[in-house]
Amino acid sequence: MSDFLVIGGGALGLLTTREIASSDATVEVIDAGVAGREASWAGGGIISPLRPWEEAAAVLRLWRWSEARFPTAAGQLHDETGIDPQWSRCGLLYHLAGQDFGIAAQWYENNDVKIEKTAPESNAPAESISCPPGYSALFLPDIAHIRNPRLLRALRRSLDLSRNVSIRENAAARTLHVENDLVTHGVLENGEHIQAQRFIVTAGAWSPQFLDAIPPPIPTIEPVKGQMVAFAARPGLLPHMVYRDGRYLIPRMDGTILAGSTVEHAGFDKHPTPEALDVLRNFAIETLPVLRHVAVTHHWAGIRPGSPGGIPYIGPHPAIRNLYFNCGHFRNGLATSLASARLLADILLQRTPAMPAEPYALDAPRPTGP
35 and 123 fall within a common domain:
no
The answer to whether 332 and 234 have CB atoms below 8 angstroms apart is no
368 band by pLDDT with thresholds 50, 70 and 90: confident
The answer to whether 201 and 207 have CB atoms below 8 angstroms apart is yes
**Calculated CA dihedral for residues 225, 227, 244, 118, nearest 10 degrees:** 120
Is residue 79 included in any domain, yes or no? no
**Mean pLDDT confidence for 206-215:** 97
Other Cβ atoms within 10 Å of 57 Cβ, number:
8
* Nearest alpha-carbon partner for 159 in 13, 325, 339, 346: 13
155 and 213 fall within a common domain:
yes
138 and 231 fall within a common domain:
yes
65 and 162 fall within a common domain:
yes
- Residue-wise pLDDT for 215-246, tens only, equals 999 999 999 999 999 999 999 999 999 999 99
242 and 315 fall within a common domain:
no
**Distance of alpha carbon 351 from alpha carbon 344, whole angstroms:** 10
168 and 123 fall within a common domain:
no
- pLDDT score at 287: 96
Is residue 263 included in any domain, yes or no? yes
160 and 295 fall within a common domain:
no
52 and 156 fall within a common domain:
yes
168 and 121 fall within a common domain:
no
- Residue-wise pLDDT for 22-36, tens only, equals 999 999 999 999 999
162 and 65 fall within a common domain:
yes
**Mean pLDDT confidence for 111-138:** 75
Report whether pLDDT(214) > 80. yes
Report whether pLDDT(125) > 70. no
**Mean pLDDT confidence for 136-155:** 97
- pLDDT score at 120: 42
Is residue 125 included in any domain, yes or no? yes
Task: List, in sequence order, every residue forming a beta bridge with 136; answer none if it has no partner.
Answer: 96
Q: What is the CATH number of the domain that holds 27?
A: 3.50.50.60
Is residue 81 included in any domain, yes or no? no
* Nearest alpha-carbon partner for 56 in 328, 345, 348: 328
Is residue 118 included in any domain, yes or no? yes
Cis ω before 49 (30° cut-off from 0): no
Q: Is 24 left (phi over 0), alpha (psi -120 to 50) or beta?
A: left
The answer to whether 7 and 148 have CB atoms below 8 angstroms apart is no
Is residue 326 included in any domain, yes or no? yes
At 123, phi and psi to the nearest 5?
Answer: -65, -50
What value does the mean pLDDT of the chain take? 95
**pTM, full prediction:** 0.96
Is residue 252 included in any domain, yes or no? yes
What is residue 335's DSSP assignment? T
**Mean pLDDT confidence for 307-319:** 97
Residue at which a domain ends, from 289, 306, 323: 306
Tally the domains of the chain. Answer: 2
Is residue 366 included in any domain, yes or no? no
Question: Vertex 36, ends 32 and 41: CA angle to 5°?
Answer: 125
Q: Which three-class secondary structure state does DSSP give residue 77?
A: helix
Residue at which a domain ends, from 306, 332, 349: 306
154 and 215 fall within a common domain:
yes
By DSSP bridging, strand 296-306 and strand 257-260 are: unpaired
159 and 55 fall within a common domain:
yes
- Provide the percentage of residues in the chain whose pLDDT is more than 90: 94
What is residue 212's DSSP assignment? T
Q: What is the CATH number of the domain that holds 101?
A: 3.30.9.10
Q: Which domain holds residue 99?
A: 92-142+223-306
